[in-house]
Amino acid sequence: MNYLIFGNGYIGNKFKQAIGEEASISGVDISDYQAVRSELARVAPDVVINCAGKTGKPNVDWCEDHKEETITSNVAGPLVLLRACSQAGIYWVHVGSGCVYTGDNGGLGYGEDDPPNFFGSFYSRTKAWSETMLEEFPVLQLRLRMPVDDMPGPRNLITKITTYKKIVSVPNSVSVLEDFLRASLVLMGKRATGIFNMTNPGGIEHREILDMYREIVDPSFTYEIFSLEELGNVTKAGRSNCVLSVEKREGAGAHMRPVREAMRDILVKYKESMRAE
Ligand SMILES: NC(=O)c1ccc[n+]([C@@H]2O[C@H](COP(=O)([O-])OP(=O)(O)OC[C@H]3O[C@@H](n4cnc5c(N)ncnc54)[C@H](OP(=O)(O)O)[C@@H]3O)[C@@H](O)[C@H]2O)c1
């Protein structure tokens, strides 16, 4: 099987690592139709995975001031891939985001059929727009959320919340990457299409993760909580906090471990990675 990954960033490289030699990464501009067509002709992939997009650096606030770049990469780019992959008859996968909701839907979690209800950041709006458009077509859409990884790094939720001065603590769905990658490959193997919530079962608060971090990684670690209102005073864009339902994905046989079990396992590995550095 030949996989072509667009987007030479964090998630693109995680897919490459998980798949191995059968995968290659392309850094061409996904909004450039001719460049994408040439890559598809050159590589002749069985599966395309789109991991290209603007997420904002150092964070999503960047997207508020760079709307054209953001909409070009997050909305126009996926539409170019849709056209090019459809013309070439290639199955393709789009990495979307679960950050299109706010709340926990009265305890049920938001399902894939629930319309997005979080519009507080330009980034989230572009992810909701592209998702809604692609939903009309046979594309597999993976809703990733707050990636959790055993390697320390600026995009890893564990590293983020252990280095912030203060954190907000409300229930959230998160994607433990090990589980996310495994479940994504199961869905790709079945040639699944449509939207899937790719988060571990259950919501977890940041304070719970940090308490586990103190227990497993660093007994001297301390943290401070602040409210959503206080956070709003120091960020330009709103932040989505939400819990998603995983019923559809679990029903499709693409399992992810319960969030607390997976988090403990990753924290043990995270500690080992810190030692090795
Ligand atoms: N990491 C998260 O927390 C998270 C959560 C949910 C969903 N996602 C989604 O997952 C996808 C991958 O995110 P990531 O975390 O891997 O972000 P990342 O590390 O910033 O990687 C994205 C890569 O895409 C590139 N890119 C941007 N616009 C492009 C374009 N038009 N054509 C080709 N490449 C382009 C970026 O290059 P530049 O750096 O030069 O822009 C970067 O190398 C995104 O769609 C994101 O919305 C991420």
228 occurs within a structural domain: no
Residue 10 CA to ligand 1 center (angstroms) comes to 7
Q: Which atom of ligand 1 is nearest to the CA of 77?
A: 31
Query: Alpha-carbon dihedral of residues 131, 196, 192, 86, nearest 10 degrees?
Result: 10
* Contacts of residue 86, Cβ cutoff 8 Å, sequence gap at least 6: 137
Nearest of 25, 23, 60 to residue 39 by alpha carbon: 25
223 occurs within a structural domain: no
d(CA 46, CA 269): 33
92 occurs within a structural domain: yes
85 occurs within a structural domain: yes
Q: Tell me if 140 CB under 6 Å of ligand 1.
A: no
Q: Which atom of ligand 1 is nearest to the CA of 30?
A: 32
Which residue's C-alpha comes closest to atom 21 of ligand 1?
Answer: 9
277 occurs within a structural domain: no
Task: Show pLDDT as tens, one digit a residue, over the chain (277 residues).
Answer: 999 999 999 999 999 999 999 999 999 999 999 999 999 999 999 999 999 999 999 999 999 999 999 999 999 999 999 999 999 999 999 999 999 999 999 999 999 999 999 999 999 999 999 999 999 999 999 999 999 999 999 999 999 999 988 898 899 999 999 999 999 999 999 999 999 999 999 999 999 999 999 999 999 999 999 887 787 777 888 888 999 999 999 999 999 999 999 999 999 999 999 988 7
Mutate which of 30, 51, 101 for ligand 1? The one with the most ligand atoms within 8 Å of its CB, which is 51
Q: Tell me if 97 CB under 6 Å of ligand 1.
A: yes
Pair 39, 28: CB distance under 8 Å: yes
Residue 214 CA to ligand 1 center (angstroms) comes to 31
242 backbone dihedrals φ, ψ, rounded to 5°: -160, 160
* CATH number of domain containing 134: 3.40.50.720
d(CA 5, CA 194): 19
Within a 10 A sphere around the Cβ of 275, how many other Cβ atoms?
7
Q: Tell me if 155 CB under 6 Å of ligand 1.
A: yes
Pair 240, 227: CB distance under 8 Å: no
pTM for the complete prediction? 0.96
The number of domains in the chain is 1
pLDDT given for residue 94 in this prediction? 98
- H helix or E strand, kind and range, residue 268: helix 259-276
159 occurs within a structural domain: no
Six-digit token pair at 146?
């707050």
Give per-residue burial for 231-241: e unless 16+ CB within 10 Å, then b.
beeeeebbbbb
Q: Tell me if 56 CB under 6 Å of ligand 1.
A: no
Structural domain for 244, as ranges: 3-149+175-203+240-257
144 occurs within a structural domain: yes
Q: Which atom of ligand 1 is nearest to the CA of 127?
A: 47
Q: Tell me if 53 CB under 6 Å of ligand 1.
A: yes
